[in-house]
Structure 1
């Protein structure tokens, strides 16, 4: 996860197939790379994108841990404890950005992507990053990672799609190793030590980050208990700003920001936080109540969610961040009544409950219910005539489907449904959306 991504504004829609499209790059020429260890990296204004005269206060080459050439023999076995990409199936992050509820689904996709690094093909893991502001899609990225033979993890690029009102605004932040002389970028040393410096992104004026390790072997509060072996870093950005991040074993990037300001932190991860056993009956009751309130928010259904939530959290461990978010979203739903203001908090409450279920249920099971959630939301937004929300709902459906499609014996009906929905959303044909949504609901069950 790269929580420093710039979240920008409007444009045209994109399909899930387009998100995954793109040929492999050509070879990078090391001699042509634009910056050496001691070269000036110019400050770039975050608002205008213009390069300034000043140089960023980058570290001396002697402190850099990423100046060796990585060798990739088994690159998809990413087992570095502080970036366990091949071992974590899905991580949910929560918090707030710009005063709005912020939630992220980070999921390992099936398959790999081959990227040429200095003329040699490297197989990389694909991670889907989907960020939601106020419950609605705001950014999507496909990130590509590979582990070198020494245990360090390298970032080989990302496809970025920034959304506004449900449609793609731009793809700013997109880069790939081998394109435009971009080198592979270390995102986690094999055995980080205090004072180590490395660059997770190193294409100045396009993307750039320089990380300094500030502390290792720390203990932090996790979703279900204390976690040992965490690391704190300070990240220098292209505009000269900095932020601190925490990485933790079993999670990777664990948190950035503060509780009182902008925050993106782990709510839970699987299998790290998975617990054997069936879904608790009280959580099942909460899920049913949340679905009812999502479909038809009103005094009665909201009271049922409140009662089910209070009963469940008194009976089972709930991650502190998820508990705080659920209280915030449920309070907003209670205040909204049954009007248009209830739509977004009802959606967020339903999202929170699907996240809680990850503790007990397989990710594909939960993702299939997320398909049902977004199909309900599509119907709600279509009836309301909200064209932007409808476009975003279809994107959310495409993202969830991309995660479960490979486990579906006959994927053709849903593929066809989503293709038709995308065409209707792009054409702003809301009557067609209303006709197609029930077909999708039938095909995903």
Structure 2
């Protein structure tokens, strides 16, 4: 797991045909999200919409977020691109993350693909150069549910040995003072990965903005805060 990379118990699905069958991975602990199987081995294009307007993860083309390490060692820029990609028949929205470290000879760039279903849940479909849903057993995970609740937990991605991030909602009334603004009523999550045992990251999301802070609270000391947010 790494900051700003690309932010269920199996239940019978009603209108959503996101279940598939024979998933190679275990269902997401600890509580899951109602009526969803996470991660899902197959996606039904009929369940997805064109826009990603989830208030906690608004990924409209042209939106851009700039983050910085208060110590001055790193900046991260996240941009929603007009470069769609079809994954398992679903049109994914491309999100580019550019990381600049002081003293580094070159920036690091990654592209992730997201899509929103017709209930408002946002799915992570893949990360360029790392994994893609439907390829080599990789499965789409949940980036953000439509209505996250304290205690909800899910897999954000699943590619065995490559990408195994998990998310747990721990608060809906968080607050933070970041360079962008003083913010309240924040969604707070705890992000972990089976591939990085002992590493725990806390993330804070503001409604209508998205991610505003990511801090490693165990197994490291990384901190990134929102400096600027612009909408196209």
TM-score interval for Structure 1 and Structure 2 normalised by the shorter chain:
0.7 to 0.9
SS in 2 for 1:106: strand
Counterpart selection for 2:74 from 91, 102, 106: 102
- Which residue does the alignment assign to 1:227? 183
Gaps of at least 5 residues in structure 2 are 6-18
**1:403-443: CA deviation from partner (whole Å, max 9, x where unpaired):** xxxxxxxxxxxxxxxxxxxxxxxxxxxxxxxxxxxxxxxxx
Q: What are the residue-to-residue correspondences of 1:201-350 with 2, within 5 Å?
A: 201-237=157-193, 238-240=195-197, 241-257=199-215, 261-271=221-231
Verify: 1:176 aligned to 2:136, yes or no: no
- Contact 1:193/1:213, CA 8 A, preserved across alignment: yes
Change in Cα spacing, 1:122 to 1:141, as seen in structure 2 (3 Å) is same
Residues 88 and 216 of structure 1, relative CA distance in 2, 3 Å threshold: farther
RMSD across aligned C-alpha pairs, in angstroms? Answer: 2.9
Q: What does the per-residue CA deviation read over 1:235-265, in whole Å, with 9 as the maximum and x for residues that have no partner? A: 1212222221111223322211169942122
In the alignment, is the contact (CA less than 8 A) between 2:174 and 2:204 conserved in 1? no
Corresponding residue for 1:295? none
Residues 96, 112 of structure 2: 8 Å contact kept = yes
Q: Alignment length, in residue pairs?
A: 208
Higher helix share: 1
Find out whether 1:134 has 2:102 as its counterpart.
yes
SS in 2 for 1:236: strand
| Structure 2 residue aligned with 1:191 | 147
* Cα 1:105/1:195, change in 2 over 3 Å: same
> What secondary structure, in the 3-state scheme, does the structure 2 residue paired with 1:204 have?
coil
Distance (Å, rounded) in 1 between the aligned partners of 2:61 and 2:169:
24
Shift of 1:222: 4.6
Q: Which residue of 1 aligns with 2:8?
A: none
Q: 1:224 to 1:133 in 2, by over 3 A?
A: closer
Question: Is the Cα contact below 8 Å between 1:76 and 1:86 reproduced in 2?
Answer: no
Structure 1 residues 85 and 209: alpha-carbon distance in aligned structure 2, compared to 1, 3 A threshold: same
> Deviations along 1:38-71, whole A, 9 cap, x unmatched?
xxxxxxxxxxxxxxxxxxxx734xx011526676
Structure 1, unpaired ranges of 5+: 6-28, 38-57, 161-173, 272-362, 364-445
Cα distance in 1 for residues equivalent to 2:101 and 2:202: 22
Supply the distance in 1 between the matched residues of 2:151 and 2:82 (Cα, whole angstroms): 36
Match of 2:115 in 1: 146
Name 2:55's counterpart in structure 1: 81
Highest Rg: 1 or 2? 1
Query: Larger strand proportion, structure 1 or 2?
Result: 2
For the 8 Å contact 1:126–1:143, the answer to whether it is kept is yes
- In structure 2, relative to structure 1, the CA distance for the partners of 1:109 and 1:79 (3 Å cut) is same
**CA contact under 8 A between 1:88 and 1:250: conserved in structure 2?**
no
2:48–2:90 CA contact under 8 A, matched in 1:
no
- TM-superposed CA distance for 1:79, in Å, is 0.5
> 1:385 matched to which residue of 2?
none
CA-CA distance at 1:217 after TM superposition:
3.4
Distance in structure 2 (CA, Å) of the matches to 1:87 and 1:227: 24
Equivalent of 2:37, from 62, 67, 70? Answer: 67
Between the aligned partners of 2:83 and 2:4, the Cα distance in structure 1 is: 26
